Amino acid sequence: MSDVFMNTYHRLPVIFARGEGSRLFDINGKEYLDFGSGIAVNCLGHNYPPLVRAVSEQAAKFNHVCNYYQSDVAAAFAEKLVEACSKAGMKNVFLANSGAEANEGACKIARKYSLKKYGPGRHTIVTLRGSFHGRTITTLSATGQEKFHRDFGPFTDGFDYIPGGDIDALDKALDKAAVAGLLIEAIQGESGIIPQTGEFIAAAAKLCAERDILLMFDEIQCGLGRTGTFLALEHYGVSADVVTLAKGLAAGVPAGAVLAGGKAADVFESGDHGSTFGGNPLAAAAGLVVLKTVNDPAFLREIARKGEKIIAAIRGWKHSGVKEVRGRGLMIGVDIESEAWPVLEKALSKGLLLLSAGPKTLRLLPPYTISGGEIDQGLAILRGVLDA
């Protein structure tokens, strides 16, 4: 293990050298089944042949043009992405590189929308307790978890937090005179795969519409097919003013996006926002493969079916220390009686890669392309580790 990295991550003792489908191989050639997809990034597994082809072909054409110009590949990607999100009301897109950067864009849109219409002072963005929105100074402010609000202050002002599911608190917090936007994950990822209720999302949509507050969905982890619909908000039958995406957007090539619809679509004007690498041709080429593959009803149904199979299997285990299984599609949280991290370590030694989401919750985010046999194999390893 190299020790020149800054000590920012709690790492497991393994160094990977290559991947193939749902499997990774370490530098000694040991094989691991991947139930984490690099935290929802490698949604098509590793070395997905159409993606390898698309990125290789693009690399042989050009890897970058600055945002003085459009490129054919970024334009094609943007068109397809907006089309895929049109059910949620999206009309246009800003291409970025990461989730935090996408959420920064969303916050800027909400603030400018409000400023232009109502003048200064109405700039608060409300988010949920337990949310995770990124690691920049502003997106740490947006993240409704105290542990992220230490050491790096002063943080960006103008964020307020409410408990998910609490419609009274939502009603109180969405003060028409002070609030520009509401930013929520339909299903919270980092804090334990916590879905919002239909009533809460419906109330959020209604209150935001009535009070002219932008309704913004952070779909960075739960979007892009992860829960069996292209966007997770589709489960709730609402549309959005702003949607942010990243993680699986280019299946392993860095990419992020802010999409906007309706009154939010024309907020950004020339010079308002920018990103050197945003719309990068390699990312756009990879993103086109993701959209072509994932935004397909039959493919999305398979994601839902695979998830149901995993959830049913784990719920059927006896004596394994499992307290609760939650989730939708291939976004699954498993509350266990013991600490999660030692389970991750043991599973690693048995050749299974897992994630955690909170101290006693395992998080399963397998690639969409995982086979039935691989699911069975991974579940057998997990059950063995939990039973031991």
Ligand X SMILES: *Cc1c(COP(=O)(O)O)cnc(C)c1O
| Minimum CB distance to ligand X, residue 223 (Å) | 9
Q: Which is nearer to ligand X, 21 or 254 (CB)?
A: 254
Contact 163, 148 (CB under 8 A): no
Residue placing its CB nearer to ligand X in the complex, 184 or 370: 184
* Backbone angle region of 327, left / alpha / beta, with phi > 0 → left and psi within -120 to 50 → alpha: left
Counting every residue, how long is the chain? 388
- Minimum distance from CB of 82 to ligand X (Å)? 20
Q: Provide the minimum distance between the beta carbon of 98 and ligand X in the complex, in angstroms, as a whole number.
A: 4
CB of 61 to ligand X, least distance (A): 26
DSSP helix/strand/coil, 386: helix
Q: Which is nearer to ligand X, 111 or 363 (CB)?
A: 363
Rank residues 51 and 128 by Cβ distance to ligand X and give the closer one. 128
Positions touching ligand X (CB under 6 A) are 98-100, 103, 132-134, 185, 189-190, 218, 220-221, 246-247
Q: Which of 161, 227, 144, 238 is nearest to 198 (CA)?
A: 238
User: What distances in angstroms separate CA 36 from CA 7, 186, 380, one per listed residue?
Assistant: 22, 20, 16
**Least distance in angstroms from the C-beta of 103 to ligand X:** 6
DSSP structural state of residue 153: P
CA 39/CA 7 separation, integer angstroms: 19
Cβ closest to ligand X, residue 33 vs residue 220: 220
Nearest residue (CB) to ligand X, 100 versus 386: 100
Residue 116, SS3?
A: helix
**The dihedral sign for the CA sequence 328, 206, 230, 352:** negative
Q: How far apart are CA 195 and CA 172, in angstroms?
A: 22
Question: How far are the Cα atoms of 17, 224, 253, 315, 366 from residue 30, in angstroms, in the given order?
Answer: 10, 31, 25, 30, 19
Q: Nearer to ligand X by C-beta: 74 or 216?
A: 216
User: At closest approach, how far in Å is the CB of 232 from ligand X?
Assistant: 10
Distances (CA, A) of 185 to 194, 242, 250, 369, 374: 9, 12, 20, 24, 29
Which residue's CB comes closest to ligand X?
99
Closest approach of ligand X to the CB of residue 290, in Å? 15
Is 298 in a helix, a strand, or coil? helix
Q: Which of 282, 254, 277 is nearest to 56 (CA)?
A: 282
Write the DSSP assignment of 350-383 as a string of letters. TTEE-EESSTTEEEE---TT--HHHHHHHHHHHH
Shortest CA distance to 250 belongs to which of 214, 224, 277, 222? 224
Helical H runs in the chain? 37-40, 49-59, 72-84, 99-118, 137-142, 167-173, 198-211, 281-294, 297-315, 340-349, 372-387
CB of 222 to ligand X, least distance (A): 7
Cβ at position 85, least distance to ligand X in Å:
16
Question: Which residue lies nearer to ligand X by CB, 101 or 374?
Answer: 101
283 or 322: CB nearest ligand X? 283
Smaller CB distance to ligand X: residue 21 or 130?
A: 130
- Output helix, strand, coil percentages for the chain, rounded to the nearest 5: 40, 20, 40
Q: Among 326, 356, 352, 346, which Cα is nearest to 386's?
A: 346
Cβ at position 99, least distance to ligand X in Å:
2
